Amino acid sequence: MTTQNASIKVKHVTRVEGHGNIVVDVKNGTVETCEWRVPEAPRFFEAMVRGRHYSEVARITSRICGICSVGHTLASVKATESALGMTVSKQTDLLRRLLKHGENFDSHIVHVLFLVAPDLLGAPSVFPLLETHPDVVTKAVLLKKLGCDWASLISGRSTHPTKVVPGGFASLPGDAYNPRMAEDELKKLKKMILDAVPMVTDMYEVLLSLAGNIPAFTRETEYVALVDDVEYGLYDGKISCLMPDGARETIEVEDYKSVTNEWVSPLSTAKYTKHNMDSYAACALARINTNYDQLHPEAKKIAEGLGFAVPCFNPYMNSVAQFIEAVHSAYMAVGYIDELLEMGIKDEKPVEPTKFSKGASAVEVPRGLLFHEYAYDEEGLCTEGNCIIPTNQNHANIQLDFDKLVPELLEADKSEAEIELALEMLVRSYDPCISCSTHYLDVTFKK
Amino acid sequence: MAKVRCAWFDFTSCEGCQIEMTNFGAPFLQLLDHVEIVEFREVMKETTDEPIDIAFIEGSFSREEDRARLESIRERAGVVIAFGACAATGGINALKNHMDMDDYKKCVYGDDSNMPHLDTQKAMPISAAIKVDMAINGCPMSRDEFVRIVTQVIHGTEKVYVPSYPVCVECKLRETVCRYEEGDHCLGPIALAGCGAPCPADGIPCEACRGMVVDANQESMEKVLQENGGMSEKRAKDKSRMFTANFRSDA
């Protein structure tokens, strides 16, 4: 028996960043409409950076997104540094990698524990869980606070960082005004992270007990993620495209447009991207499928414990991949802090521009691969900018997941409510960040 | 005492001020002893049609089609608080307000820019559409200020105190060396305080994310940016578009 009729209209999907709608219409067993739509207001950041000085650009583009503002800031300063011929110090590189891990930990905790966990526990939000699972919620709140404090210590502020500037850092970590105090701040951070490990283990147990509630759906797709010789690709590297058959291709960041190939779909109102296949995924699942070997051993243990194996083609498992990455980040951070302390912190001024030209960068933000590119004139004023955000790149992949999933759910005789929940959970699993709306088109749906 | 029914709503913004709500740590759980969160799309599925005691609205008013939603929130809410710079002043979104619409649309959307649904308008504070009772300012909003203002509202205060002096005062109070002394520039002399001046303390200029003080001397500021900050005349004139476009004398 298959479901014959269904009409689903979810306006402004909840527990995601930004505004997205789901529309499905099934009549007499035929899927007439099955769409993921984005009505976010356009914000025109690429127009707004024109004419602004290079020192201001990251502070503007950080405001694209409040959740991945650290990632936008890092992508922005890296693109500016590339355009202006600035090579940052080893200390800056390590501090930024430490910061990047902080952002990923922070955002993944919010997504997995606050936004996804309620689905797995059958609750509408985290708030009813305060009654039923107070211990879990309290620990989730404390881990979120750790992520915020970690990123804030390095960058000044986890939402719209202050200290990260082109060429390096505007000031030392924490409230330090000399290098020795900065080292103390880093030691403090290391202790905070190590102290949190038991709570992370508790969350692992919770996730393990709920893993059976994650829908079993698979669809083979192309995965695009950063690959970095130094570590599991996050802060830096080249673009890797991984095909379902395991074939890999590596592309220079400067050639990012040959991967993203933005196009406007007649079916939807947001720009899509495509590379070798009709869509690709750029998310934690793409990263872990691409770079599993470089995960910290402790993160691999968590992956094995959760029964997670690569290649994984289940988009719902992106949340599990994020949790594994959060563990990876915690242990990697401890290693980076040790390396920084061993080197000894120095009071460094940001390096100065050596030229004024055009440059691109790529950074993995929690929800996927982010590109920024800018050109500057001789006065250091921005003449053009381009930002391609991960949700934008995942949009076509979400749509194609819908196209495969809805007929499967109808075939399995699922109710309208069950289909609606499955689609919402799918959207949520991508951890979309719709306010990163630089490329989204705005639309009014006419009935 | 009954819990205060609070709801969060978002318009044109990055939702970073809402994310700041998750950064309180354990005190957030204490807040829930006094506040019932009845609607908050970013973190919960539950919604309400019942009256709301305090509506926190994030984001600028940048599309006429958003007016009806803002009006319906106003009708349901006892107190409306502009939550963060975008809602309070138009924020960063107003940086495009002086640009020609066809030009910025073409810049971002290229050949697709003439699609009719791309229409937008100047980014304005939500007070351009509805009556706003108070603001928690800043980009992002200050968590300390949030606690202070919400505590006062819960206790029935009708008007909350917010500083009217410039950010320079707060730098002096915390003994931060002036950005101009460091060879930099800063909008501190005309920027509205209340944040505690974290940016100059972190080594970057104040960008006046909370808006300008009343009667800010903008001409004099431009002169300082050129003479003390080493800026070209053009850059000095454009400087205050970043967060304070709606305060400029040419707005």
For residue A73, what is the domain's CATH number? 1.10.645.10
CB < 8 Å from A in window 113-142 of B:
115, 117-120, 139-140
User: Where does chain B hold its CATH 3.40.50.700 domain(s)?
Assistant: 4-154
What ipTM was reported for this prediction?
A: 0.95
Interface of B with A in 183-212 (CB under 8 A): 198-199, 201-204, 207
| Mutation for A interface: B5, B9, B14, most A CBs within 10 A | B14
Burial class (CB within 10 angstroms; exposed 0-12, middle 13-18, buried 19+) of B227: exposed
Q: What is the pLDDT along chain A (447 residues), one digit of tens a residue?
A: 578 888 998 888 888 777 788 999 999 888 998 888 876 666 778 889 999 999 999 999 999 999 899 999 999 999 999 999 999 999 999 999 999 999 999 999 999 999 999 999 999 889 999 999 999 999 999 999 999 999 999 999 999 999 999 999 999 999 988 999 999 999 999 999 999 999 999 999 999 999 999 999 999 999 999 999 999 999 999 999 999 999 999 999 999 999 999 877 665 556 788 999 999 999 999 999 999 999 999 999 999 999 999 999 999 999 999 999 999 999 999 999 999 999 999 999 999 999 999 999 999 999 999 999 999 999 999 999 998 888 889 989 999 999 999 999 999 999 999 999 999 999 999 998 766 543 333 322 232
What pLDDT digit, counting tens, does each position of B146-178 carry? Answer: 999 998 888 888 788 889 999 999 999 999 999
In a domain, A387, yes or no: yes
Polymer length of chain A: 447
Residue B143 and residue B150 in contact, taking contact as beta carbons nearer than 8 Å: no
Q: Which of B108, B199, B201 lies closest to A438 in CB terms?
A: B108
Cβ–Cβ under 8 Å, residues A366 and A394: no
Residue B15 to residue A438, Cβ atoms within 8 A:
no
Residue to test with chain A: of B42, B115, B185, B187, most A Cβ within 10 A? B42
Cβ of B63 under 8 Å from any chain A Cβ?
yes
Contact B61, B70 (CB under 8 A): yes
Pair B63, B213: CB distance under 8 Å = no
Contact (Cβ atoms closer than 8 angstroms) between residue A320 and residue A353: no
Q: How many CB atoms lie within 10 A of CB B71?
A: 12
Q: Which CATH class is domain B4-154?
A: alpha beta
Residue in A289, A102, A300 with CA at minimum distance from that of residue A204: A300
Q: Are B136 and B85 in contact (CB under 8 A)?
A: no
Domain assignment of residue A8, yes or no: no
Cβ contacts of A12 on chain B, cutoff 8 Å: 41
Q: In angstroms, rounded to a whole number, what is the distance separating the alpha carbons of residues A397 and B135?
A: 40
Q: Which domain holds residue A192?
A: 45-429
Q: What is the SS3 string spanning chain A?
A: CCCCCEEEEECCCCCCECCCEEEEEEECCEEEEEEEECCCCCCCHHHHCCCCEHHHHHHHHHHHCCCCHHHHHHHHHHHHHHHHCCCCCHHHHHHHHHHHHHHHHHHHHHHHHHHHHHHHCCCCEHHHHHHHCHHHHHHHHHHHHHHHHHHHHHHCCCCCCCCEECCEECCCCCCCCCHHHHHHHHHHHHHHHHHHHHHHHHHHHHHHHHHHHCCCCCCCCEEEEEECCCCCCCCCCEEEEECCCCCEEEECHHHCHHHHCCEECCCCCEEECCCCCCCEECCHHHHHHHHHHHCCHHHHHHHHHCCCCCCCCCHHHHHHHHHHHHHHHHHHHHHHHHHHHHHCCCCCCCCCCCCCCEEEEEEEECCEEEEEEEEECCCCEEEEEEEECHHHHHHHHHHHHHHHHHHHHHHCCCCHHHHHHHHHHHHHHCCCECCCCCCECCCCCCC
Instruction: State whether residue B37 sits within 8 Å of chain A by CB.
Output: yes
B99 with A269: Cβ contact below 8 A: no
Tell me whether residue A115 is in a domain: yes
Q: What is the predicted pLDDT for the residue at A249?
A: 97
Q: How many domains does chain A have?
A: 1
Which tokens hold the place of A49? 């950076």
Q: Taking CB atoms and an 8 Å cutoff, what residues of chain A touch B42?
A: 14-17
CB contact under 8 A, A52 and B115: no
- Nearest CA to B138 among B251, B7, B16? B16
Q: Report CB contact under 8 Å: B104, A160.
A: no
Which chain B residue is nearest to residue A11, measuring alpha carbons? B41
Q: Is A178 within a domain?
A: yes
Q: What are the chain A neighbours of B46 within 8 Å (beta carbons)?
A: 124-125, 127
In a domain, A36, yes or no: no
- B interface mutation test: which of A16, A37, A43 has the most B CBs within 10 A? A43
**H-assigned helices in B77-190:** 85-89, 101-109, 143-154, 167-173
End-to-end CA distance of chain B: 46
Mutation target vs A (from B202, B238, B242; most A CBs, 10 A cutoff): B202
- Cα torsion A103, A303, A367, A215 to 10°: value is -140
